[in-house]
Chains A and B, each alone.
Chain A
């Protein structure tokens, strides 16, 4: 299927494991930068290191904000744990974060048969400072999986 750039005003949603979330009294208030680092190879499950960050295209769903978040959660190719987090990032803000470090990035909708909302953040490179600024400036919403599925 065609790969299309996602408009700047739109959003992508990324799944984060509980161990990558910052919580205050059980509520997610932030995401550790490591959630935005490309994962190293982990054979046999992941023989190659990650080359891009997998996401879901928020605006590919229709409905209220809560319904769209729920759809993004249900579109994941695996069953997330209820205490995991879902973070919504604005595309323009993602690009702005990479621009600060003179690093190119593409945010694309890459619909697949199994997941029509599949999207990717394809960076030229991503290191701790870039991941940190993404976690700080590009995130516009954070919810737990259990809240998203309500």
Chain B
């Protein structure tokens, strides 16, 4: 059974001085590497425990002490890391729904995410994508069986933006992560353009989409 890391603030790790491996004096906060045996001990002791992902990455040992101490140091992820993590979080969501999606649809989702959520195109000050919003989009896509979206994007709040196109209409939607969708549609006809906008539940949005896309 997994336990949080706070359940063992000090792991009783066996510290084995190894003159041949220790190149610099080991102190708290130094970047000195753990020797292989210590790593093995640490991994063995951590089996069954769950460390918070992302926030705690580095283990630091104290050397000039008779007993060993393990400490975790908080790490603030870089911009690149945050963008990568956001992308991975959404891809994990895709994998959660994998049984309902064809390999082609999964590949399209991954491709479209990589197109937008990348370091080259993302501004550092922008809010990162909302996983809740993305999950709403996945649920709706599976429910409506509409896999032919044009492209995806993200709003200033991180909500996913999706657009579909039919012969006579363009439909765009903002999935807000609360099972509701803000949408706008433009339909062209010989009489001129018709414009509509609304806010719907996920289920009702499928009925609206049918009006413009089928």
Could you list which residues of chain A lie within 8 angstroms of chain B, going by C-beta atoms?
Answer: 17-24, 29-30, 32-34, 37, 39-40, 42, 45-46, 81, 83-84, 128-129, 131-133, 135-137
Contacts and interface: CB of A to CB of B under 8 A. Distances in A.
A105 B192 CA distance: 25
A131 B116 CA distance: 22
Interface stretch (B24-32, B57-65, B67-75, B149-157): B149-157
Interface of B: 116, 120-123, 125-127, 150-151, 153-157, 159, 161, 163, 165, 170, 172, 174, 182, 184, 186, 193, 195, 197, 199
B151 A128 contact: no
A37 B156 contact: yes
Contact of A24 (B116, B150, B199): B150
What are the 4 tightest A-B residue pairs by CB atom distance, in nearest-first order?
A132-B184, A129-B197, A34-B155, A22-B163
Contact of A19 (B150, B161, B170, B193): B161
Nearest to A84: B121
A20 B153 contact: yes
Could you say which of A19, A40, A42 has the most chain B C-beta atoms within 10 Å of its C-beta?
A19
Contact of B195 (A20, A39, A42, A137): A137
A37 B182 CA distance: 13
DSSP class of B's interface residues: helix, strand, loop or mixed? strand
A136 B184 contact: yes
Contacts, number: 90
A81 to B, nearest CB: 5
Contacts of A135: 172, 184
B184 A33 contact: yes
B116 to A, nearest CB: 5
B64 to A, nearest CB: 41
20 contacts: A17-B121, A17-B123, A17-B126, A19-B122, A19-B161, A23-B151, A24-B165, A34-B174, A39-B156, A40-B156, A42-B127, A128-B184, A129-B184, A132-B184, A132-B195, A133-B195, A133-B197, A135-B172, A136-B170, A136-B184
A98 to B, nearest CB: 14
A96 to B, nearest CB: 12
Contact of A30 (B127, B172, B197): B172
Could you say which of A18, A21, A37, A128 has the most chain B C-beta atoms within 10 Å of its C-beta?
A18
B157 to A, nearest CB: 7
A85 to B, nearest CB: 11
Nearest to A128: B182
Nearest to B125: A45
Nearest to A22: B163
B199 A128 contact: yes
Contacts of B163: 22, 30, 32
Given A19-B121, A23-B150, A137-B195, A32 B161 contact: yes
B120 to A, nearest CB: 7
A72 to B, nearest CB: 19
A139 to B, nearest CB: 11
Nearest to A34: B155
